Amino acid sequence: MATCNQNGINLRSITSIPPIKRSIYYLTRTRTQSFRCNSSLQSTTLETEPKPVFTSVKSFAPATVANLGPGFDFLGCAVDGIGDYVSLRIDPEVQPGELSISAIEGIGNSATKLTKNPLWNCAGIAAISVMKMLGIKSVGLSLSLEKGLPLGSGMGSSAASAAAAAVAVNAIFGGKLSLSDLVLAGLDSEAKVSGYHADNIAPAIMGGFVLIRSYQPLHIMPLKFPAEKELLFVLVNPEFEAPTKKMRAVLPTEIGMKHHLWNCSQAGALVASLLQGDLNGFGVAMSSDRIVEPKRAPLIPGMEAVKAAAMEAGAFGCTISGAGPTIVAITDDEEKGKEIGYQMVEAFINDGGLKACAMVRRLDRIGARVISSIPL
């Protein structure tokens, strides 16, 4: 078993985390910017331990919307202006090669619900993975996490913490690792806390839309929404804890051919529309899931009315964000977004008896980034 103490955790102990089932680790960037694994290599491990270039850095990682209807389990995107922050500093009081989580603050019950044990904290696990990739043995780090995302909201809360931490550790040592390495570090974290899926962590780190084609080998495809087009998300988060177990339990194990073919064609249309900047097509496809949403929607009180209200108010499309309970609608106009959000909140209270808050956010095209730093 791993041993850890108040001050930190030795990197060797990462091996005691149950091994993630991935046979292939190393990613290379192809001409078309998709990331594919090289089947014979592990994730990057530097030959020489890099020196730190900052005494401290502060990073931000955005919220993410996974699934997007028929993009279930393979598509996600990043949402700007809301997310988690990590402050990371070189700390002589932490044993060299170790990481300590000094503080967790933030909205809701984040601070009390999350552990400071870096082996079981999303940010901690990702940070340790990056330290291991970099081969850090001579420097101790102290990490402070500021949660901007509520836990279990369906907006990629765990991925945002992991992404911010991974980017911060990489940055403090001069940014030696690639985006794909950082995704792998984040996957270590996601695997431990919410399952081995990359549809939140990949967009949280890379920004924009990301399609996960396969896990073995891991093949991640960034999908570029046209730069000249506007895309806004209306995120409506009700005061309701989505019953995660039930959300998984209701998923069908067998799917009729007709529904399978329908969802496959919607998935294709979803991807085509976003690459072509066709918000109307994107919204129609996003709203057309016949497999997952019909099963999960009844578990979120008022969901059907909320979706209807969004469409009535002019949204291009509307579905459950991640596994819920947040509902996401899309539009291309901020004022219209506010009206859509208002109508969705009204529907939540009227039909679901749930208080909810709405926000209108742009597509984040950048992903996790350093927002301030102090040079050595």
281 binds a copy of itself (CB under 8 A): yes
- Run of H or E residues at 122: helix 122-134
Nearest-Å Rg of the Cα atoms of the chain is 20
Are 257 and 290 in contact by the 8 Å Cβ rule? The answer is: no
319 binds a copy of itself (CB under 8 A): no
Q: Which parts of 57-86 interact with a copy of itself (CB under 8 A)?
A: 70-75
Q: CB of 169: closest distance to a copy of itself in angstroms?
A: 30
Q: Which of 149, 168, 221, 370 is the binder for a copy of itself (CB under 8 A)?
A: 221
Q: Extract the tokens encoding 50.
A: 């890099």
252 binds a copy of itself (CB under 8 A): yes
263 binds a copy of itself (CB under 8 A): yes
Q: CB of 187: closest distance to a copy of itself in angstroms?
A: 16
Q: Which is nearer to a copy of itself, 100 or 200 (CB)?
A: 200
- Run of H or E residues at 318: strand 317-320
Q: CB of 272: closest distance to a copy of itself in angstroms?
A: 5
311 binds a copy of itself (CB under 8 A): no
Closest CA to 177 of 137, 201, 168, 99: 168
Give the orientation angle of helix 157-172 with respect to helix 179-193, to 10 degrees: 140
Q: Which parts of 114-143 interact with a copy of itself (CB under 8 A)?
A: none
d(CA 133, CA 47) in angstroms, rounded, equals 10
Q: CB of 275: closest distance to a copy of itself in angstroms?
A: 5
Q: Which of 51, 113, 213, 248 is the binder for a copy of itself (CB under 8 A)?
A: 213
From residue 139, give the alpha-carbon distance in Å to each of 93, 100, 373.
10, 12, 17
Q: Which is nearer to a copy of itself, 269 or 320 (CB)?
A: 269
Q: Extract the tokens encoding 20.
A: 């993630």
Greatest CA span in the chain, whole angstroms? Answer: 61
d(CA 121, CA 110) in angstroms, rounded, equals 11
Q: CB of 183: closest distance to a copy of itself in angstroms?
A: 16
d(CA 190, CA 126) in angstroms, rounded, equals 9
211 binds a copy of itself (CB under 8 A): yes
Q: Extract the tokens encoding 116.
A: 């400071």
d(CA 237, CA 149) in angstroms, rounded, equals 11
d(CA 335, CA 317) in angstroms, rounded, equals 16
Q: Which is nearer to a copy of itself, 75 or 143 (CB)?
A: 75
Q: Which of 265, 298, 312, 357 is the binder for a copy of itself (CB under 8 A)?
A: 265
Segment interacting with a copy of itself, rule: CB under 8 A, options 174-182, 188-196, 217-225, 354-362:
217-225
Q: CB of 252: closest distance to a copy of itself in angstroms?
A: 6
30 binds a copy of itself (CB under 8 A): yes
- Strands 232-238, 209-215: pairing is unpaired
Q: Which parts of 291-310 interact with a copy of itself (CB under 8 A)?
A: 291
278 binds a copy of itself (CB under 8 A): yes
HSE of 92, CA atoms in CB hemisphere, 13 A: 0
Q: CB of 199: closest distance to a copy of itself in angstroms?
A: 10
Are 216 and 20 in contact by the 8 Å Cβ rule? The answer is: no
Q: Extract the tokens encoding 215.
A: 């896990």
Segment interacting with a copy of itself, rule: CB under 8 A, options 187-195, 265-273, 298-306, 332-340:
265-273
Q: CB of 288: closest distance to a copy of itself in angstroms?
A: 8
Q: Which is nearer to a copy of itself, 121 or 273 (CB)?
A: 273
Q: Which residues bind a copy of itself (CB under 8 A)?
A: 30-32, 34, 70-75, 211-214, 219, 221, 223, 251-257, 260-261, 263-273, 275-278, 280-281, 284-285, 288, 291
